[in-house]
Each structure stands twice: as C-alpha cells, then as structure tokens.
Structure 1
Amino acid sequence: MTPEFIIEICVAIDIAILSIAYPIIIDKISGIGDKYSSEYIPVLFNNEFPQKALKIKIKNKVYGSPVFKLTIFATLFSFIFLIFKFEPLFGWNNWFINNSAKLTVLFLTIILIVFFFMWLGKVALYNGKSKTLLTYLISNYIKSKADSELRSYNLKAINELAFYAIEKQDEHLQKTLLEFYYSVFANIRKNHDKSNPLVYPIDFYFLVNKLNEIAVENETKLRAIEHRAVSGVWLLGEDFEEISISEETYSWLWKNIYTICDNPRLIKMFWANSSQYFDYRLKAVLADYSSHEENVIINNQDQINKRNQERNRFLEFHYALGGLLVYREEYRTINYLLEYSQSEPPKYVLLPQTMCSR
C-alpha cells in the first residue's frame, strides 16, 4: 500500500469521526448525569482521559481544552503539510523526510482513533447501566488518595446513585451500596482515635439525612438501605468499637428524627436500634475493686464516670424524642415506644426506671 492510499484512508476516517461520530457523542455527553439528577457525575466524566482538559496559565488566566478535542485540532492542522509543499530543512533528502507530512497525518490519525475509542468507552460507561457505573465509581474512590478532591467527588456521586436507587426502586444497586457503605463506615470507626468522640465527614451526614427525607416521601423496596439510614445504624456503628457519640452526630440524628417524626414505621425502626445500642454497647461499666491499707479503691472510676455520662446523654436524647412525639400528637407511636422491649421478661431500657431525678 502506497502512502497516497494510506492518506486517503486517514482523511476518510478523520472526516467520519469529525462529521458523524463526534456530534452524536457530544449530544450524549450533554445528558450525562441527567438520569440521576447528578451534579458530580458530569464533573467526574470531565476528569476522565481523554476528556480531561489540558490547562495552561497565561497572564493569570487559565485556558484549557479536552485532550480529545486537541487531538482533533492537531490532526486537522496536519493536513496543512499535505496541502502545501514545504522544502526539507537543511537540505535533508531521504524517504522519511520526503514523506514526513504523510507520516505525520498517519501518526496523528492513529492517535485520534485510539483516543476516540477510549472516549467512546467512557461515554458508554457514564451513559450505561447504573450498576456498572456504581462499581466503577467505587473502584475509583478506593484507589484515590485520602482527602483528595477527586475522592470527595466520587463519594458525592456514589451518594447520588444511592438517592437514585431509593427513589427509582432500583434493587440491583442495593447490595453493592450496602457493601460499600459498610466498609467505609467501618474503616472510619476503626481508624478513629478512640479517646475523642467521632465526627464523620460532612458528606456522610448529608447522605443519611437525605435518605431519611426520601424514606418519608417514598414507600421503598430497598428496605436494607432505608433501615441503616433511618435506624441510625450507620452513624452509631455496626461494631463494638469503644467510640463516643459526638455532639455533631447527635445534632444530625436529631435532624433525622425531626424529618421522620410523623412516620410511625420509621420512628419504631429508630427506637428499636437505639434500644439495642444502649443495652449492649452502652452497658454500665462494672467497678473494679481493690483494697489498699484497709480502704476499698475503685480502679476504673474514670471509665465508670465516662460511661455514665454517655448513657445519660443518650437517654436525654431519647427523652427529647418522646417530647417531640407528644408535641406532634403521635400518641399511638408513643404507646408503642412505652411497650417496646427486646427481652423476656420485658425490659424498657430507654425509659426512666424511677420518678426520681437522676
């Protein structure tokens, strides 16, 4: 095959990409994220190669253009060397130099084709199946550096897919989302300094709060995700780590409670988990006694005081919940809470045990 035929093929391919494929795919790109009402999925797409922009700063102004678009411009610009005959520099005269214009077009066309199919794959991914996209975003989240902006965008996009799954009853996403959030919340708690109350990253508080809002508005089939968000399992933890609940977490739990307070089913869900949490994970610390010179000493008094303070704070929060339900006249729900027990004989762990002040 002579260079002339190669160039004819290259030009035909370049024209096909530019005039037919590119406009169609640009139309698809404009709708990326619309399916999920997402603000962050389009941002992530624009960070994918070869869609990612190359940027240059000139006089305090930043200019940028996607790599794929720059490749198109470079390929079209190379046609100039075919149109105009330039004499070889320095009197060079060999096959490579004499055919350099054609070889340049060939090289850039090959690069353009490779980038086009890479670009096409990313467009298909972001416009394709929800589960495939979710798995990809989770993979990127895990691989990205902690506290990086890209990691934050991936998390926000995953959260948007969780909202979409609940609203659209997409049961195919539930298992993947549950596994991801279990892992993320568990890692946060495992790596936390146990001497301080745990404050989650703000995106996780927004996630749980938004899921509570959606749970009130929709009768969902995705009960597992709904339960973990509404009951407080994610914020209180599914482990037995000795971690104090922060005031920030209490504040967001109250926002969630206020959101669901008129829905008896959701309030019952929250109360059940709180009862279990208080009974098993906020157990009173038993005193460790030892004698010293005829005096009995409690060796773990600081631990006892700390645990009693945590228990009292937890109970106060749930007494406030009872007050809110009275204010909202949710008497049937109150009656359920007063009778709720997880043991036989019944034990009402979140209710005052006496009329005496604590």
Structure 2
Amino acid sequence: MDISPKDIIIPIATAILGVALPLLLGVIQRIDEKYESTRLMKQFINERATKCFGGILVATILLLFYLLIAPPNKNDFGIFTEYVNNSAVIIATVACVLLCFSFFKVIWLIYIYHNPINLQEHLLKGKIKIETRQAWFEFFASMLKQDNVNVLSKGFGSLYEWCAELRKGNEWKEIQYPKEFYDGIIALNEKLCSQKKKVVSISNGNDALKIFFDDMQLTIIHPLTFNKIWIGLNQQLYYNRKDLILEYWGAAHQHLSFYMKQYYEGDRITHLDKTITITREQAALRHKSRMDFKEFHIAFGGLLLYKKEYELLNHILFYTNTQPPVYPLIPGRLSEIIPVYMELLSFKPENVMKYESRYPFIDLHDGIRNDNIINGYIQRYLILTMFRLFQLIPAYTSDNFFELPGLPSSLSDKQEWINSIPIIIEKLEKDTTIPEMVGKILPMEAGELYMAKKKLISLLESLLENLKTAMIQQKESLPLSQEKTQKFSHTISKMIEYEFSTYWSIFPQISVEDDAMPSNYIIHDALIVKYEIEPTEAYADDQTMGYSNLDEVLAQNIILEFRYKWLWHFARQKSQSYNLTANKVAEALKKMNLNKEKHVILGFRVNWYCCFQELEKCDESKLVTPDGIVLYDLPGEYNTDFNNVIVIMNKEDLPQLLFKKPEVLETEKYKLECINQKYNLYASILKLNENPDLMEKFREIGTHTEKQLQQSVLISAEMNVKVAWRLNIKMVLIKISDSHKGNDDLSNITPFENDEK
C-alpha cells in the first residue's frame, strides 16, 4: 500500500494546530489567573519561541494548501527534475519538522511560565528590557501575595542588584532612577501594605522603600526619590501598616547614623578598596544631603501629627538602636530645633510653596492654604520635640539639651530671628491645643507641661535679648562695602555729569579767579553742600533690608538746589517781559528780528513742540526750527516759578560758570574726596561712631538719638559753583500761559535791539 507524504504531513500539522491553539489560549488564561498580570501575558506572547511557533504554523498551513493544489511539473531539469517534481512535499516536510521542534520549545516555555522559580530566572537573565522589568514587577507582586519564599528572597536580591547597577559610577551625584523603577517600587509597596500580615513571612521585614537608601556607593538622594518615599509612607499610613513605618524608620535611623556620616575637608575614607581624601565640595554635598534627609523626616513628623498618629509618634520619638541612645532623625537639642523653626518662618523666595510641593498631605484639599497648613503642622512637631527634651536623660555630664543655638552671622538672618522668635513665644503662651497634643504623646503631667512651657519661653526670651544686643553691636562695627561706596561715588558723579553737561555746552566757563574778573561783572555764589544721615548697613554688604535710591536722592537734592540758586539769578535780572500763549511764541520771536549769530533763546521747562509745528532735535537740549533758529531746552524750577519761561539775550551776555574746589576746612572736616574733576564734585561716606566730633554735632541737633547715630553714616557731597553776570545786560522774558491767562496781542512786541535795557 503506497502512502503519500501528504498522508503523513497533513495529519501531523492538523493535529499540532488542533492542540496548539487551545493550549496557547489556555496558557494565557492560566498566566492571568495565576499571576494577575497583563504584562506577563504580553511577555509570554512576545517570547521568541511563541512568535516562531506562530510564524512556522502559519507558513506550514499555507504550504499544505499549496501542496494540495500544486500543478505538475512539465519541464525537464535533468538530474534535478525529481526534486522539482517533489519540491512542495519536501518544503512542507521541512516546515512540519520545524513546526514540531517549535512546538516542543513552546511546551518548554509553558513549563517555565508555570514554575515561578524558573520564570523569575527566565525574566531576569541577560540584558533585561524595560517591558520585561515591568512584567517582572507584576509577577513579583503576585509572589508577595502567595508568599513564595524562594522567589521572594531572590527577587529582593535582584532589586538591590539592579539598584546598585543604576547607581554605579554616580558617586557624589544625585541619582534619579528610571520611571519604571519608581513605579515598580511604589506598586510593590502598595502590595506589601495591602496584604494581610502573616505570622512568619519573608515579606514582613522587607520595607520596599529601604531600597532607596544607598549605603555603599556614595550617591545622593534625588528630590524625586524623596517624593516617591513620601508617597510610599503615605501608602503605609493609609493601610495602617505601623509595622512597616517602624521598619522604615529603623532603616532611615541606621542609614543616617552609619552611612551618611558628616565629612569634613581633608577627611580620609575608604571606598571600593580605595582611600579617598574628602574635598570641600564633597563635604558640602554631604552636609546638604544630611540636612535634606533630616528635613524630610521632620516633615514626616508633621504628617503624623496631622493624621493624629500619636501612638506611632511616641514610638519614633524615642526609637534608638544604640546605647547610649542616639536619635539622629529627631532634633535633640534646642540649638538644633530653633534654626529649623526659623527656616519654617522664613520669607525667603525659595520657601514659597516649598512644603506643599515637597511634602504634600495627600488628603488635604484647601487650595492655596495647603502650604501654610503643612508648615503649621511641622511647626507643631518642632514644638513637640522641644517638650520631648524634658524627657531625655543625659548620657554624659556635658550633655545640655537646652543649650541655645549660636547666633546667625548676617544682619538679615538676625533680624529674621528677632521677628520670628516672638511668634514661637506667642504660640507657646496662647495656643491651648499644644498642651493637649503634647500630653497625648509624651508621658507628662499638666504641672510638668506648665513648668516646661515656662522654661522654654524664658530661654526664647533670653535668646531674643542676645540677638538684639548682638544686632546693635554688629551694626556699630559694620565695615563699609567697597562696592557700595564706589557705587555711591559713581551714581552721584553720573547724575551731576548728566545735569551739568547741558550748562557746560551752552554757558561759558570762567577761566580766571574771582578777583581777576573785569569790573563790569558781578559774581554770585552757588555753593551747594548736602549731607544725609543714613543707616550704616545701607552701605554695607550685610543688610537687614533693601536700601535703594539713597545716592540718587542726594544727587537730586544737589541738582535741585543748584537750579534754585541758578534760576533765582535769572529771575532777578532786569528784563522786558511778555505773557503769551504757546501758539503765539513763534510769531513773537519772528517780530523780534533775532540774529541767530548774536542772540540766544533759552527755554526753561518749555514744551517747544507746542510753540513750533516742526522742529529738528539735535541733542537732549538743542532743537532747531526749519528757518535755522536754535532753541535750547533747559530744566525749570517750581520754587522760583521759573517754568514755561523763554529767555532771549545776547550770547556775549550769557552768565559764566566757575566750578571751584571746596574750602580746605570743609574738605578736611567731612573728609571729602573729589569724585568728578570736571565739575569739582566732592563727596564722602563717614561712619559717625568713628568721627566723634561729627556725631556730637548731630546729636546736639536732636533729630537722631546717640544710639541711632552709633549705627549711622553721614553721606556728604559738595559743589562750589560761582556764577558771573555781566552788568546791565539786555534780556527779554516770555512767560507762556494757558489760553485763559495768556495774551495773544503781539502789537507791543518790538525788535530785540530796540528794547530798552
């Protein structure tokens, strides 16, 4: 009986097809039921063996259909003709063999997925893809539920190995883990929290959050990692897993005590069998990372208060694993607590919304008030730690839990403390909920609480007095800032230069001394001496507040006084005056028959654009009309009513200016130094407590107390300006008025040369 290959191949392929599809579907369903993981189902489908089996199965079916309908070969290929005639059968046979082989591979893969130990080894071998890691996390979570010891022990080990690999080569850097790592740890923590605690289980003592503590590789915890730890602790609180919180607290306690020791520049440590000398930068990084770690756990104390977890708080407040007891996560001295409290009350820009963004209370939904509420509970926790000091027993005779902190070095920090300490005192005195809260957590009777509160208030008041005394002493001894004194000179010189450059360009300068002036000139003094008493800190690097525009105000006072004296002389000159509206000025000037070579037109605070339709601006103070008349724009002065005034005079009659040096006595008295040689501008900044004669002078004036003068500087500036006027000059004044007061009658206006002197 002849049996065709078709009779063998087709039944085999059909049998495999009939078995494989139900088998695969059953395996996928079984994975879902056993591991509760959609990612693991997807992982099985994407396995190479599964894909190969599916591909070969489809190819075999197609070849079998082709085998049934393949046309006979009618060509002669010589010795290959027989092979060509049976090519379809040969290919189908090969496909069937491969199908059988791949089927057995799938059977082996199914066995691996059925056995958790083998499955974990399979998932964790070689270079692990992100999708595989995510599938493994879901698999591991299901093993926690089943409490499979062999899988869990190796799984926890694998987690730590992966974490160590991620940290490798990142010494002294903040390490941010991949998103799938964070997500996986949070998912594992959720599973650990939600499952029922067993009497004996490997998972009982495995707090997933501990993996974020680097005990060996000198990496620094990233802010995002702190955020994930915070989420994990909130999960543990939500599920009331106090055992896991205490497990975490013990790990954090040990991590800070033994693996985050404070380093100092020059310290030598051993790392990876190498000796390292600590640099200043590394010491600073370690200090900051320790402060961040402590701040995190202080904020967690505030969260426990918010949650009213008083029993748990009592446990962690007195948790220690050393003898004599050490509590690194809890401020254990008043000198530690107060600086942290001051930071909470600080108005520094970096503190805006800091606590809500870093340490959110998950079930707090008060909008913009969230940050203040969180801050308030952390403050209450710090007050609790103050009362806790009364429960501690000194291990050594030198221990002093109530030692006051060192005073901050900067004036701004001292002032901030002075403003903040009364807030703590008021909270201790008036917040009636504090004794109740403390009494529920600490074993203290009402009488003990009262005496403890009195002692704390007394210590805080003593600290406040120390701060005020130190503040006064520091203000008196503040050195002047070289940068600010240079800025003082530069600012005044620049403003004077800007103001007087206009006068310099228009008015001639006297080139001889007073007594050498011709007899037809009269010289007027325009001496300007200005001084102000300001706080010393305004010109020091260390300040309690910002000071602005003090230099500008002094310079502006010099300018205004010069304008007053300068324009007062203009107003006193005998002149022909007219009162006109702005739209008649151009016509009036035209009637005066002015000679642009001989005459000059000065406008004091005049809006020339209201007087002329077209003007060309040459510079800040010079404009030209279309017919070539030059108009000058000069500042006016309200006190002399010399505003909106036009002065016409001969160029040769313009007043002349002389910028002289101050008198020697004045220069020595105020220690004036020249800051602008062109205009002989002199200025100085003097500390009054270093110049007793000046301080006595201003004390007698009575505007400042001696205490204020001790903390003040005298800023001075002087200009000795002389103004020379020719006698009997010709000058015409046009006062520009509004339409109600002005005179539009130009009939009395005569040519300038015909006006009487």
Query: TM-score, normalization: structure 2?
Result: 0.40
Work out whether residues 60 and 99 of structure 2, in 8 Å CA contact, stay in contact via their aligned partners in 1: yes
Residue 98 of structure 2, aligned match among 89, 104, 111: 111
The answer for the alignment partner of 1:58 in structure 2 is none
Counterpart of 1:43 in structure 2 is 42
State the 1:234 CA deviation: 0.7
* Match 1:219 to one of 169, 191, 196: 196
Does residue 188 in structure 1 map to residue 131 in structure 2? Answer: no
Structure 2 CA distance for partners of 1:90 and 1:339, relative to 1, 3 Å: same
Tell me what 2:123 maps to: 137
Does the CA contact (< 8 Å) of 2:256 and 2:328 recur in 1? yes
Instruction: Using the TM superposition, give the Cα deviation of residue 254 of structure 1 relative to its aligned residue in structure 2, in angstroms.
Output: 0.5
Q: In the alignment, is residue 242 of structure 1 matched against residue 218 of structure 2?
A: yes
CA distance in 2, matches of 1:286, 1:68: 66
- Match of residue 322, structure 2, among 331, 343, 346: 343
Give 1 or 2: higher strand fraction. Answer: 2
* Residue of 55, 64, 68 corresponding to 1:76: 64
Q: CA 1:285–1:99 in structure 2 vs 1: closer, same or farther (change >3 Å)? A: closer
Unaligned segments of structure 1, at least 5 residues: 54-64, 145-150, 290-298
Q: 2:599 corresponds to which residue?
A: none
Q: CA 1:169–1:86 in structure 2 vs 1: closer, same or farther (change >3 Å)?
A: same
Aligned equivalents of 1:249 and 1:33: distance in 2? 32
Preserved contact between residue 173 and residue 220 of structure 2 (Cα < 8 Å): yes
Q: CA deviation at 1:40?
A: 1.5
In structure 1, C-alpha distance between the alignment counterparts of 2:241 and 2:197, rounded to whole Å: 14
Aligned partner of 1:292 in structure 2 is: none
Distance 2:314 2:54 in 1: 62
Match in the other structure for 1:156 = 134
1:169 aligned residue: 147
Q: Which runs of 5+ in 2 are unaligned?
A: 268-277, 340-757
Among residues 254, 258, 283, which one is paired with 1:304 in the alignment?
283
* Partner deviation per Cα, 1:224-281 (whole Å, 9 max, x = no partner): 4554434x321113x3221111001000010011111233211111110111111111
> 2: distance between equivalents of 1:341 and 1:30?
50
Q: Conserved in 1, the CA contact under 8 Å of 2:193 and 2:236? A: yes
Corresponding residue SS for 2:38? coil
**Cα drift, residue 161 of structure 1:** 1.3
Q: Following superposition, which runs of at least 4 residues in structure 1 exceed 6 angstroms of deviation?
A: none
**Inter-partner Cα distance in structure 1 for 2:60 and 2:110:** 17
CA distance in 1, matches of 2:107, 2:283: 62
Alignment of 1:354 onto 2:333: yes
Confirm or deny: 8 A CA contact 2:236 2:244 kept in the other structure. yes
Rounded Cα–Cα distance in structure 2 between residues aligned with 1:199 and 1:181: 16
Query: Which amino acid letter does the alignment assign opposite residue 287 of structure 2?
Result: N
The answer for the alignment partner of 1:60 in structure 2 is none
CA deviations over 1:4-55 (Å, ceiling 9, x no partner) = 354322222122223x3134214324415302121211222222234328xx
In the other structure, the counterpart of 2:496 is: none
Residue 57 of structure 1 corresponds to which residue in structure 2?
A: none
Shift of 1:181: 1.3
**Are the equivalent residues in 1 in contact too, given 2:40–2:139 (CA < 8 A)?**
no
Aligned twin of 1:210: 187
Q: Aligned partners of 1:225 and 1:181: how far apart in 2?
A: 14
Q: Is the 8 A contact 1:32 1:42 kept in 2?
A: no
The percent identity for this pair of structures is: 23
- Residues 285, 304 of structure 1: 8 Å contact kept: yes
Q: Which position in structure 1 is the counterpart of 2:532?
A: none
Aligned to 1:315: 294
CA shift, 1:319, in A, is: 0.7
Does the 8 A contact of 2:56 with 2:98 survive in 1? no
Letter in 2 for 1:156: Q
- Farther-moved stretch of structure 1 (85-94 vs 167-176): 85-94
Return the letter of the residue paired with 1:137.
Answer: L
Structure 1: how far apart are the matches of 2:332 and 2:160?
35
Deviation at 1:153, TM superposition (A): 1.1
Residue 311 to residue 223, structure 1, CA distance change in 2 (3 Å): farther
Conserved? CA contact 2:304–2:313, under 8 Å: yes
Q: Deviation of residue 106 (structure 1)? A: 2.1
Instruction: Say if 2:305 is the partner of 1:329.
Output: no
| AA of the residue aligned to 1:264 | K
- Structure 1 residue 138: Cα displacement: 0.8
Amino acid at match of 2:167: R
Count of aligned positions: 322
The CA distance in 2 between the partners of 1:266 and 1:206, in whole Å, is 19
Report the Cα distance in structure 2 between the residues aligned to 1:49 and 1:216, rounded to whole angstroms: 36
Contact 2:73 2:84 in 1 (8 A): no
Does the Cα contact within 8 Å between 1:74 and 1:108 map onto a contact in 2? no
One-letter identity of the residue aligned with 1:263: R
What SS class does the counterpart of residue 326 from structure 2 fall into?
Answer: coil
Return the letter of the residue paired with 1:348. Y
Equivalent-residue separation in structure 2 for 1:304 and 1:111 (angstroms): 64
Point out the structure with max Rg over C-alpha: 2
> 2-side partners of 1:10 and 1:153: how far apart?
38
Checking the alignment, whether the CA contact within 8 Å between 1:211 and 1:226 is kept in structure 2 is no
> Is 1:89 matched up with 2:75?
yes
What is the CA distance between 1:92 and its match in structure 2?
A: 5.0
Cross-structure match for 2:8: 9
User: Residue type matched to 1:28 in 2?
Assistant: G
Contact residue 72 and residue 85 of structure 2 kept, 8 A:
no
| Contact 1:341–1:348 (Cα < 8 Å) also in 2 | yes
Deviates more, 1:102-111 or 1:348-357: 102-111
TM superposition score normalised by structure 1 = 0.81
1:268-301 C-alpha deviation (Å, 9 max, x unpaired)? 1111011111111111113549xxxxxxxxx944
The CA deviation at 1:80 is 2.1
User: Which fold has the larger relative contact order, with Cα–Cα distance below 8 Å and residues 6 or more apart in sequence?
Assistant: 1
State the match for 1:33 in structure 2.
31
Match of 2:396 in 1: none
> AA paired with 1:203?
E
Note the C-alpha offset of 1:353.
2.3
Structure-2 change in CA distance of 1:102 and 1:68 (3 Å):
closer
